[in-house]
Amino acid sequence: MRKNDKAEYPVVFEDLYKIYKMGDEEVRALDGVTARFEKGSFWAIMGASGSGKSTMLNILGCLDRPTSGAYFLDGHDVSALDDDALSEMRLKYIGFIFQSFNLIPQLTVAENIALPLYYQGVDEGGSEEIAARFASVVGLEHRLRHKPSELSGGQQQRVAIARALATDPVLLLADEPTGNLDSQTSIEIMDMLVGMNKLGKTVIMVTHEASIADYAQHRIVMKDGRIDQME
């Protein structure tokens, strides 16, 4: 990867393979994937079950490492990092938005948003200020002391978005972000992700819904561990 690519392409896959051994057989979950994701772009990854889209998301999120090939995140080759180093990369560079929200039920809205800041070593006063600011960004400034069980599904997903943004990540990853939401709330959440993208965030989303993928600027369709379409 050239030095000047870092600013333009914060996320780069080069000839990426992920191979699992199943007895005497090999399963190529990713089979030579090369892709570049431009800074400030919004991508939807689609494909049938087993196509490789979840494997791609796991590697993008530093939750797994490839068998071979290179993955550059903000100019850093994270392909062969150990678990501790991958955890640091996740914390520093990536914001996650999950289908199931993944909020901690015992914590308030403010505490859930501030959680990654705690692991970054931000002091209590600073984390409270940041949590309040991003709760306001997602329209939940009046819910800071509420627990997740006191919120609707759409409100819980808003908390998850605020938490993902709190660390000012290079990359926002969304895994079926509207999968547990009704149609109207899905529109509201997707409008919010579009708004974050317009502010310069690089967003990569996995979805099986064409109507949700339409919110993205670009689309990748995976098939048998390879990129079947990229537009």
Q: DSSP letters along 160-218, please? A: HHHHHHTT--SEEEEESTTTTS-HHHHHHHHHHHHHHHHTT-EEEEE-S-HHHHTTSSE
Determine the residue type at 16.
L
- Which residues, including other chains, have CB under 8 Å from residue 153's CB and lie 6 or more apart? 101, 180, 181, 182, 185
CA dist 165 and 95 (Å) reads 6
pLDDT of residue 187: 95
CA dist 79 and 68 (Å) reads 8
* Residue position matching structure tokens 């990540």: 169
Residue 41 Cα to chain centre, angstroms: 13
Cα dist from 218 to 23, 201, 205, 208, 214, whole Å: 37, 14, 10, 15, 9
This prediction has a pTM of: 0.92
- Mark the ranges of the chain whose per-residue pLDDT is less than 70: 1-7
Domain annotation for the chain: domains and CATH numbers: 5-230 (3.40.50.300)
pLDDT (tens digit per residue) in 55-106: 999 999 999 999 999 999 999 999 888 999 999 999 999 999 998 899 999 9
CA dist 160 and 155 (Å) reads 9
Q: For the chain, give the number of residues.
A: 231
pLDDT of residue 99: 87
pLDDT of residue 67: 95
The helix or strand, by DSSP H or E, that contains position 88, with its residue range, turns out to be helix 83-93
